[in-house]
Amino acid sequence: MSDATDPNPKSTSPPWARLVFLQIPMAISAASLIAAIAVTLGRPLEPAWYLAAFLGTWCVYLRDSAASCDAEDRISQPGRAALFRSSAFLRTTLPGFTAVAGLATLAWIRPTTPTTILLVGVGLLGLLHAFSVGGRTTPASGGPSPLQSRLAIAKSPMVSIAWAAAAVSLPVLEGRGPGISTATWIEAAMLGLPLIAILLGDSLLLDLRDRDADAQFHLRTLAVRLRPRTVHVVVGGLLLLAAAGFALGSVVGEPVISELALGIPAVLGLATAWTAWPSLRNREASLAMAVMSWRFLAAISCLILA
C-alpha cells in the first residue's frame, strides 16, 4: 500500500456502513434483482443460483474495492478505501475465498454451456475495470493507456449491459418452466431493455459521485466528460425511458406477473435517490444504499405479487 498521505484519514460513517463498504448489500442486490426477474418471467431458479449470484458479485466488487482503495477511492469513497487499506485479508484472501466458493457452487449446479459462456463473459467484464486501475496510487503514477481510456468511457454502459444480460438470461436458461421458445426470449428482451436504462442511470449516479477522483486519475468516464447538470438530465431521461419500457412491456407482453410490479418500484426507487442527491452526495454509505435500493424494492414487490 502507498505511504502517501490520505486526503480523508478519518471516516465519520455510521457503524452499519461497514457492511456497505464490504460490498455485502451490493452482492445481495444482485441476487434480489435476479429473483425479481425470475418471478416476473415465471421461471424460478434453484436457491443455489442465488448463492452463486451473491458470491460472484461479491468477488468482483471486492476485487474492485481492493484495486481502487489506494487510488481514486481514497478521494471519492474514503470510508471504503480506509477499510480495505487497513486489511490485507480483505484485499487478497476474501476475494480469493469468494471466488473459490462461487466456482464450487457453480460446479455443484452444473450450468449448461450457454450459461457458462454468459457467466464467463459477465465476470470478465466486471473484472476489467478492477484490473485497469490496479497499481496506480497517485494521479502522478502515469496517465492511463489508450485501452484504459476506452474502458473508462465505456465502463457504465458495459456494467449496465453485463448486469442486465446476466439478470435476464439466467432465469431463461436455467429457470424451471416450459421449454425456451422465441416468445420466451422476446419477453426477456422486453424486460431487459428498460432494465439497461435503469442500470445505466444507477451507474451514472455513482460515476458522478466519483467524478472528481476519476478526473484526477485521468479516468475519463462519461461523468467526467459531461457536466454534472448534464449527467442529471441524462439520468432523468433514462428514468423516463425505463418507465415507458416497463409500461409497454406490461401491455404488449405476457409475463406471469405484470412488468409494472418490477418497473414501478425500480423507477421510483432510483428516482428517489436521484432527487435526494444533494443531501446524499457527501454521505458515502447512505448514497450507495439509496442508489441500489430499487433492486430490493423490485424483489419485494414481485415476491409479494407472485
Domain contains 9: no
Residue 10 within any structural domain of the chain: no
What range defines the domain where residue 200 resides?
Answer: 17-305
Judge whether 259 lies within some domain.
yes
pLDDT score for 129 = 56
What backbone phi and psi angles, to 5 degrees, belong to 170?
Answer: -60, -50
Q: Which residue has the cell 449470484?
A: 53
> Is 5 among the domain residues?
no
Hey, what's the cell of 37? 426477474
Under 8 Å between Cβ of 207 and 156: yes
Element (H, E) at 223: helix 222-225
Q: So what's the pLDDT on residue 174?
A: 96
What is the maximum span of the chain, computed from C-alpha positions, in angstroms? Answer: 59
User: Other CB atoms closer than 10 Å to residue 9's CB: what's the count?
Assistant: 9
Q: What is the pLDDT averaged over residues 146-150?
A: 64
CA distance 125 to 151: 10
Q: Is residue 212 part of a domain?
A: yes
| pLDDT confidence of residue 134 | 47
Question: Within a domain: residue 161?
Answer: yes
End-to-end CA distance of the chain: 49
Alpha-carbon span 108 to 104, nearest angstrom: 6
Q: Is the pLDDT of residue 67 over 90?
A: no
Average pLDDT score, the chain: 87
In a domain? residue 95: yes
Q: Is 226 helix (H, G, I), strand (E, B) or coil?
A: coil
Q: Is 211 exposed, middle or buried (0-12, 13-18, 19+ CB in 10 A)?
A: buried
The model's pLDDT over 241-265, given as tens digits with 9 standing for 90+, comes to 999 999 998 887 666 577 899 999 9
Among 164, 154, 159, smallest CA distance to 189 is for 164
pLDDT of 53 over the 70 cut: yes
Is the pLDDT at 106 greater than 70? The verdict is yes
CA angle 164, 156, 137 (to 5 degrees): 130
What pLDDT does residue 128 have? Answer: 62
Q: How many domains does the chain have?
A: 1
On whether residue 197 sits in a domain, the answer given is yes
Q: Mean pLDDT across the stretch 171-189? A: 91
Q: What is the pTM of this model?
A: 0.90
Q: What is the mean pLDDT of residues 170-192?
A: 91
Question: Using alpha carbons only, what angle is made at residue 61 by residues 58 and 63, rounded to the nearest 5 degrees?
Answer: 105
